[in-house]
Amino acid sequence: MDASWGSSYRLVAADRWRMQSAYMGHFVTEALVDYAHPAAGMNVLDLASGTGEPAITVARLVSPEGKVTALDQSPELLEIAARRAREKRLANFVTRVADAHHLPFPDKSFDLATCRFGVMFFADPQRALIDLRRVLKPGARACFAAWGPFEQPYWQSTMKIVHQHVGGNLLDPDSPDPFRFSTPGALSEVLRSAGFRDVEESTCNLPWTWPGKASEVLEYACSCSTPFQPMLKRVPQDKWPAIRAEAQAAIERYRVTDQIHFGALIVMASGRA
């Protein structure tokens, strides 16, 4: 990952949409936490933690003796995570600025690792997972949630519509692809190549619900979806009114009372060190 993940526009967006984003993502967080089975007393590492999930949720479950380390390359995003943890009075939550490819921990340090929407963006996933296996205790699990295919409601009613108006590359060919593990078995293959055993993988349909206006969804997606920034910067200003109108109409199709219910296809995978 690069510096753009902690850039000013993303930090402003993370703060502005904090409540809505947390609500939309909490179903995936809960599913990953249930999948990971954190237990009291565990020492847990959360990779690419960003603003703090699932690290904060896990910290509550492993307390009081357990500990969670939230790791990310962006100190600014981790400061948001630390603030959230302080607000929840979590004394067993710490942050660490570091690259997932070079983990600054001794061998066999952790009982569990989690990663929500991060593994897709590792420059070299195999190398990162090899180092992750190094810092896990023998038999400890590493549990991941990654995006399924681009062809699903949230992305089709936001980034696909933008792409139809601007053309060119949907994603920068030199940047990591958020959908790189959407093909069944792709993430499992990397886990096995990194030396993990008892590898499991499934794709599940989880709630992905925006608690607000349809007009807000495209703005949020454009503000927070870092991989699409090169495409978004190519959009001429005079095209935005038509894009917003088309996207809002598409998003409204998923409205249920006062919420937008997209649903999301998410890849869940795990392996043991």
User: pLDDT tens digits, residue range 173-203?
Assistant: 888 899 999 999 999 999 999 999 999 999 9
Burial class from Cβ neighbours inside 10 Å (0-12, 13-18, 19+) for residue 56 reads buried
Residues 6+ away with beta carbon under 8 Å from 212: 20, 258, 259, 260
Q: Please tell me the distance from the alpha carbon of residue 239 to that of residue 233, in angstroms, as a whole number.
A: 12
Rounded distance, CA 195 to CA 202, Å? Answer: 19
Best CA proximity match to 159, nearest among 262, 23, 48, 22? 262
pLDDT surpassing 60 at residue 76:
yes
Query: At 6, is the pLDDT very low, low, confident or very high (cuts 50, 70, 90)?
Result: very low
Mean pLDDT of 8-30: 77
* Mean pLDDT, all residues of the chain: 93
- pLDDT for the residue numbered 146: 98
Looking at residues 90-114, what average pLDDT do you find?
A: 97
Lowest mean pLDDT among 20-24, 81-85, 93-97, 117-121: 20-24
Question: Residue 93's beta-bridge partner residues?
Answer: 68
Angle (CA) 209-211-215 rounded to 5° is 100
pLDDT higher than 60, residue 228 = yes
**In CATH, what is the architecture of 3-272?**
3-Layer(aba) Sandwich (3.40)
Res 22: pLDDT: 85
- Whole-number Cα distances in Å, 82 to 37, 75, 246: 23, 10, 38
Mean pLDDT for 94-105 is: 97
Domain extents for the chain?
3-272
Residue 4 has pLDDT above 90, yes or no: no
DSSP string for residues in the chain = --GGGG-HHHHHHHHHTHHHHHHHHHHHHHHHHHHH---TT-EEEEET-TTTTTHHHHHHHHTTT-EEEEEES-HHHHHHHHHHHHHTT-TTEEEEE--TTS--S-TT-EEEEEEES-GGG-SSHHHHHHHHHHHEEEEEEEEEEEE--S-SHHHHTTHHHHHHHH-S-SS-TTS--TTTT-STTHHHHHHHHTT-EEEEEEEEEE--EE-S-HHHHHHHHHHH-GGGHHHHTTS-GGGHHHHHHHHHHHHHTTEETTEEE--EEEEEEEEE-
Write out pLDDT tens, residues 127-172: 999 999 999 999 999 999 999 999 999 999 999 999 999 999 999 9
Judged against a pLDDT cut of 60, whether residue 101 lies above it is answered with: yes
pLDDT for res 14: 61
